[in-house]
Amino acid sequence: MEWYEMPVITGRHVRLEPLTEEHAEGLFAASADPATWTWLNEPRPRDVEDMRASVRKALRDRERGLRLPWAQLDPRTGEVAGTTSYYEISPRDRGLCIGYTWLGARWRRSGTNTESKLLLLERAFDELKAVRVGWHTNALNERSRAAIERLGASFEGVHRKHRLRPDGTFRDTAVYGMTDDDWAEAGPALRARLR
């Protein structure tokens, strides 16, 4: 089914390719900055084997149709920069979410995240004919929230005590959405920002 296909998608700042165990070493290197893990819902990997286990979990989620994980690569160097995914995929309702996203410190504020989201939004709205794309982030993560808002997504509210964090605390989740109607304006604005 087309909604669960994972093509390689290449832009100027990022190449998205289906995540494999072969990306584990590069992901571990990219995630060396402890700040990368501040807001994520999984613990920081201690070594490449921990990262490999995290990748295997993502691949099991893919097999079950729960998540489509991509590695984000620097197209100039081939280095792994991070990861991102589609999840909560619902062809029947014509919607999905984008998340499980992180980038290594070197690629932050480089255009990589913006272009990655643009490529995934183009696939969702233009190819799959989605009517809605959503995002979830820690309500306290101001940087992530600002990045989602810059995409043209609308803040829709907060799910209280929504996700259990690795330290045993619960996070409140800020929810954002973009519809196909919003995409008509957001798409050209994003493309203009990347020029």
In the chain, where are the structural domains located?
Answer: 2-194
> Left, alpha or beta for 140 (phi > 0: left; psi -120 to 50: alpha)?
alpha
Task: Give the pLDDT confidence score for residue 194 in this predicted structure.
Answer: 86
Q: What is the mean pLDDT of the chain?
A: 95
Q: Which of these CATH numbers, 3.40.190.10, 3.40.50.2000, 3.40.630.30, 3.30.465.10, describes 2-194?
A: 3.40.630.30
Contact call for residues 152 and 186 (beta carbons, < 8 A)? yes
DSSP bridge partners of 83? 71, 102
pLDDT for residue 43 = 86
**pLDDT tops 90 at residue 39:** no
Mean of the pLDDT values across residues 54-77?
Answer: 97
The per-residue pLDDT for 172 is 96
Query: Is 149 in contact with 186 (CB distance < 8 Å)?
Result: no
Per the CB < 8 A criterion, the answer to whether 53 and 44 are in contact is no
Q: Quick: pLDDT tens for 163-183.
A: 988 888 999 999 999 999 999
Q: Do 178 and 152 touch, CB atoms closer than 8 A?
A: yes
pLDDT digit string (tens) for 77-102? 999 999 999 999 999 999 999 999 99
Helix H or strand E segment including 87: strand 80-90
